[in-house]
């Protein structure tokens, strides 16, 4: 093993990652309060943001279909949780979202730019209407009760899905699919001419990102007791991950993770401490972030770190 080639920073990063996962794994045994609920929510957004980043980050295709795949997970949980084990429900939710994304992707990923964004937005609206209509005709009602899971169960399930998402994101990024996606993002025609099966690559990665979104939806649904199409397919779910990724920085995977965590916690803090000024402060923070941190929090941190290191190395 060529351990000598590891820099101290890499050692620290690996160690930190390990410690974070261990702490997160042990957390419910250390605290049983609201923190676990809040962390589940943060992890939910980490999954959605990283899931969104897997596809939209390198390709520059702005997907607004997150709510559609996430909402499908809600409905899978509403139908199957209870009759089937929770773990099976989560996997089914991911699989159904995956298949749905395969079908949708195969039909639409020839679209580009704003057309693709509008289509994915319309997809969410269409799925909402279809589910609403099916419920009205078949069940004669609008919503469904969901068999709930405990806070701990939901937390651990979301932690596992988060790990799966991050590992999947790293593997895709470092695989030939990752390179292909970057090529597509930079110059799609050139990528196609160089032998990359552009449509297949996009569809597979789009479906992979939908897989984790569906799983996240299934887990969160079990904490909501009752769902209806408006709740399951809320358009906020499509927009928040985009903002979180921008806020954290889209240059690497750390950015979306930090963006999702800070964004969720900041929102919670402002909403409960400054309810009257919440939207104002949040809006100002977002505008400042986009205006002065085009590479997000991580980009700013890298910039500051670079200046510090540059300052140290500069001649006196």
Partner 1 sequence: MMQDEQDPKTTEESSIASRPVSRRQFLKYAGLAGAAIGASGALGGILSACGGEEETTTTAAPGTTVAAGPTPPAQDKFVIGGARPISGMYAMFEQAHFGPAYKIWVDDMNAAGGINIAGKKLPVELKVYDDQSDLDTCMRLMTKLMEEDKVDWLLGPQSTAFLFAGAGLAQSRGYVLCSAEGGATTLEAEMAKGSLPLFFQFLNYSNHYQLPVFAEIMQELGAKTVSIVYLEDLHGIEYSSQAQLFFPSAGIEILSSTSIPFGIKDVSSIVKKWQGENPDVVCGFVYPEQYILVLQTMIQLDYNPKAYLAGPGGSTEVVYNVFQGAADGIMFEGAWSPKQSPAAQAYYEKFIAKVGDKANVDFWGPLIYGAELEFIQKCIEKAATLDHQKIAEVLRTAHFPTIMSDDMFMTAQILDRSCYAGQIGQWQNGYPQVIDPGAKRTAEIWYPKPTWKEAAKSSTSSTT
Other Cβ atoms within 10 Å of 177 Cβ, number: 20
Among 174, 193, 307, 309, binds partner 1 (CB under 8 A): 174
Nearer to partner 1, 142 or 307 (CB): 142
Residues 41-80 that bind partner 1 (CB under 8 A): 41
Residues 22-41 that bind partner 1 (CB under 8 A): 22, 24-26, 28-29, 32-34, 37-38, 41
Tell me how many degrees the CA angle 206-247-309 measures, rounded to the nearest 5: 115
Question: Binding of partner 1 at residue 152 (CB under 8 A)?
Answer: yes
Structure tokens at 163: 């790990």
Least distance CB 128 / partner 1 (angstroms):
11
Question: Binding of partner 1 at residue 18 (CB under 8 A)?
Answer: yes
Structure tokens at 179: 């390179």
Residues 266-305 that bind partner 1 (CB under 8 A): 268, 271-272, 275, 278-279
Nearer to partner 1, 24 or 106 (CB): 24
Return the beta strands (E) in the chain as ranges: 144-145, 226-227
Other Cβ atoms within 10 Å of 135 Cβ, number: 17
Nearer to partner 1, 149 or 202 (CB): 149
How far is the C-alpha of 115 from the C-alpha of 27, rounded, in Å?
A: 44
Question: Do 157 and 90 meet the contact criterion of CB atoms below 8 Å apart?
Answer: yes
Nearer to partner 1, 179 or 300 (CB): 179
Which H or E element spans position 224?
none
How far does CA 71 lie from the centroid of its chain? 13
Least distance CB 295 / partner 1 (angstroms):
23
Residues 211-230 vs partner 1: string with x where CB under 8 A?
A: ---------x--xxxxxx-x
Other Cβ atoms within 10 Å of 103 Cβ, number: 12
Which residues on neighbouring strands pair with residue 226, listed in sequence order? 145
Least distance CB 225 / partner 1 (angstroms):
3
Residues 122-151 that bind partner 1 (CB under 8 A): 129, 132-133, 136, 140-143, 145, 148-151
Residues 86-125 vs partner 1: string with x where CB under 8 A?
A: xx--------------------------------------
Q: Three-class SS of residue 290?
A: helix
Stretch that binds partner 1, among 58-66, 113-121, 164-172, 289-297 (CB under 8 A): 164-172
Residues 230-269 that bind partner 1 (CB under 8 A): 230-231, 234, 236, 268
Least distance CB 5 / partner 1 (angstroms):
4
How far is the C-alpha of 233 from the C-alpha of 122, rounded, in Å?
A: 12
Question: Binding of partner 1 at residue 159 (CB under 8 A)?
Answer: yes
- Say which residues have a Cβ less than 8 Å from residue 226's Cβ, sequence separation at least 6: 143, 144, 145, 146
- Say which residues have a Cβ less than 8 Å from residue 236's Cβ, sequence separation at least 6: 67
Nearer to partner 1, 24 or 243 (CB): 24
Nearer to partner 1, 3 or 314 (CB): 3
Cα–Cα distances in Å, from 264 out to 20, 78, 151, 155, 260? 18, 25, 18, 16, 6
Stretch that binds partner 1, among 172-180, 210-218, 286-294, 306-314 (CB under 8 A): 172-180
């Amino acid at each position: 093993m060529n351990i000598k080639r590891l820099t101290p920073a890499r050692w620290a990063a690996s160690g930190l990652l390990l410690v974070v996962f261990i702490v997160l794994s042990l957390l419910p045994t250390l605290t049983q309060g609201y923190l676990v609920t809040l962390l589940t929510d943060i992890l939910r957004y980490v999954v959605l943001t990283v899931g969104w980043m897997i596809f939209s980050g390198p390709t520059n295709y702005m997907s607004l279909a997150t709510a559609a795949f996430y909402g499908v997970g809600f409905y899978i949980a509403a139908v199957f949780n209870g009759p089937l084990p929770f773990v099976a429900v989560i996997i089914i939710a991911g699989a159904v979202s995956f298949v749905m994304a395969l079908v949708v992707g195969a039909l639409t990923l020839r679209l580009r730019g704003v057309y693709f964004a509008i289509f994915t937005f319309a997809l969410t609206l269409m799925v909402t209407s279809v589910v609403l209509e099916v419920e009205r005709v078949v069940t004669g009602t609008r919503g469904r009760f969901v068999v709930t899971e405990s806070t701990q169960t939901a937390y651990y399930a979301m932690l596992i899905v988060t790990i799966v998402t991050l590992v999947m994101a790293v593997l895709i990024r470092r695989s030939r699919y990752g390179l292909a996606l970057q090529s597509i993002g930079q110059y799609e025609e050139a990528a196609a001419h160089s032998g990359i099966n552009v449509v297949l690559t996009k569809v597979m990665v789009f479906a992979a990102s939908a897989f984790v979104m569906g799983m996240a939806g299934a887990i969160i649904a079990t904490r909501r007791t009752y769902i209806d199409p408006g709740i399951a397919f809320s358009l906020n779910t499509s927009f928040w991950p985009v903002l979180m990724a921008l806020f954290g920085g889209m240059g690497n995977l750390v950015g979306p993770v930090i963006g999702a965590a800070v964004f969720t916690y900041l929102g919670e803090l402002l909403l409960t401490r400054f309810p009257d000024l919440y939207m104002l402060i949040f809006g100002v923070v977002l505008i400042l972030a986009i205006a002065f941190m085009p590479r997000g929090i991580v980009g700013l941190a890298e910039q500051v770190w670079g200046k510090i290191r540059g300052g140290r190395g500069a001649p006196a």
